Copies of this chain bind each other. A is one copy, B any other.
Amino acid sequence: MAQFQASEGPASRVKASFDRQSIMALLGAGLGVVEPGRVDIVLPYRADLCQQNGFLHAGISTTIADSAGGYAAYTLFEPGEDVLTSEFKMNFLAPAKGDRYVASGRVVKPGKRLSICQVEMHAYEGEQATLCVIGLLTAVRVTPR
């Protein structure tokens, strides 16, 4: 049935895995767009996520960017497979200041083993978006033995 298929689809598998990432609940992050090869994660501002100057800590920007990139790869995997991050690199372009932050992951090159993703994080002050982080990430497909 359609509903059953939906519950097997990439979006529902991403949601199920995301809901097990307890850190996302702690940070208050939620899933945004989930499409094949593309995932967004949305994080509202909270004072307790910041570094010494009141900007979102670079590691927290990275946390949502990492999950967005990993799940973007995951949308292209088969049911039963899992994803791990092998490595990433992030450049910080502007202080992360805003009322919410949106991390986007997009698969540049899917692979049998390794998928390469581009990630970005924008800070939003109302409708005004600032590109704060750009990065590259290698996601590993983990197949059950």
* Residues in chain A within 8 A of chain B (CB atoms): 17-18, 20-23, 25-26, 47-53, 57-60, 62-67, 82, 84-95, 108-109, 113-114, 116, 118, 131, 134-136, 138, 140
Contacts and interface: CB of A to CB of B under 8 A. Distances in A.
Contacts of A140: 114
Given A20-B52, A23-B57, A109-B134, 12 more contacts: A21-B51, A53-B82, A58-B63, A87-B90, A87-B92, A89-B90, A91-B116, A93-B108, A108-B131, A109-B131, A118-B134, A136-B136
Given A87-B89, A91-B116, A58 B66 contact: yes
A140 B51 CA distance: 15
Contacts of A136: 87, 89, 91, 134-136
Q: How many copies does the complex hold?
A: 4
Q: Chain A's interface: helix, strand, loop or mixed, by majority? A: mixed
Contact of A116 (B62, B116, B134): B134
Given A62-B62, A64-B59, A138-B138, A85 B89 contact: no
